Amino acid sequence: MSDSASPVILITGCSTGFGRSLALEALSRGLRVIATARRLETIADLEEKGAKTLSLDVTAPAEQLEEFAKKAIGAFLEDIKAQFDTNFFSVINLTTKFLPHFRSRKTGTIVNISSQGAYLALSGGGIYCASKAALDSRCGPKELAPFGIRTMTVNLGAYRTAVAGSNTKKPAKEIDGYNDAHEFLSIFQERSGQEPGDPAKAVKKLLDLVLTSKELPARFTLGDDAIAYGEDTPGKAERA
């Protein structure tokens, strides 16, 4: 496969976790990768491996909260907004930038990374789960298929990434009485790095599906635990 014929993949969040694993796997397959992160120094090694690296803060377009709302519920509302800015609105903002190009070419693939949290109730994880559920849509394929655009949501199980460690932060203001939720979050963080899933294996299965399938399922579930919890959730599933 010549370089000019290789698919171009734009991957956000390449400093850690699935973004990094996916970028490395794509580069190893000779694909042309545009890797982004907020701080370029965190992905300098990807540039050395052949990726085009760009600085991108996916939450930058976020609107400012009204002053009275900040004063009324302050940090709690800001925590909610920050979660949705990162997990949902950033995806919408970036996707809408590419859609005109995809529509004009009558081709393109959009893969959104969601979580088993989209259908699994987690104590203390209501806002996170809501933001992931917002991504877990089957409307995209119906709306974009007429333009030749493939769309798929990936529901991940528990994988050894930073999501349970450095990427998990307690709210700026905790509300008394939610003892179970506070305890769950502490246990969640303590078990970081011990999750059953291997990101390297998962991204291989993900890229295999995207690169070899003419049609994609609206929903793709990855991981034994995600499959177990989502037995009634329609879509394709893989253990990794």
The catalytic site residues sit at 114, 128, 132
Looking at this protein, which amino acid is placed at residue 175?
I
Cα 197 to Cα 81: distance, rounded to the nearest angstrom: 29
**Residue closest to 27 by CA, chosen among 3, 52, 50, 2:** 50
Cα 143 to Cα 71: distance, rounded to the nearest angstrom: 40
What are the tokens at 182?
């506070």
Residue with the two structure tokens 């502490």: 186
Cα 83 to Cα 130: distance, rounded to the nearest angstrom: 10
Query: What is the Rg, in whole angstroms, of the alpha carbon atoms belonging to the chain?
Result: 18
What are the tokens at 36?
């982004």
3-class DSSP assignment, residue 22: helix
3-class DSSP assignment, residue 120: coil
CB 102 within 8 A of CB 140: no
3-class DSSP assignment, residue 98: helix
What are the tokens at 120?
């699994």
Cα 114 to Cα 209: distance, rounded to the nearest angstrom: 16
Bridge partner residues of 151 (DSSP): 110
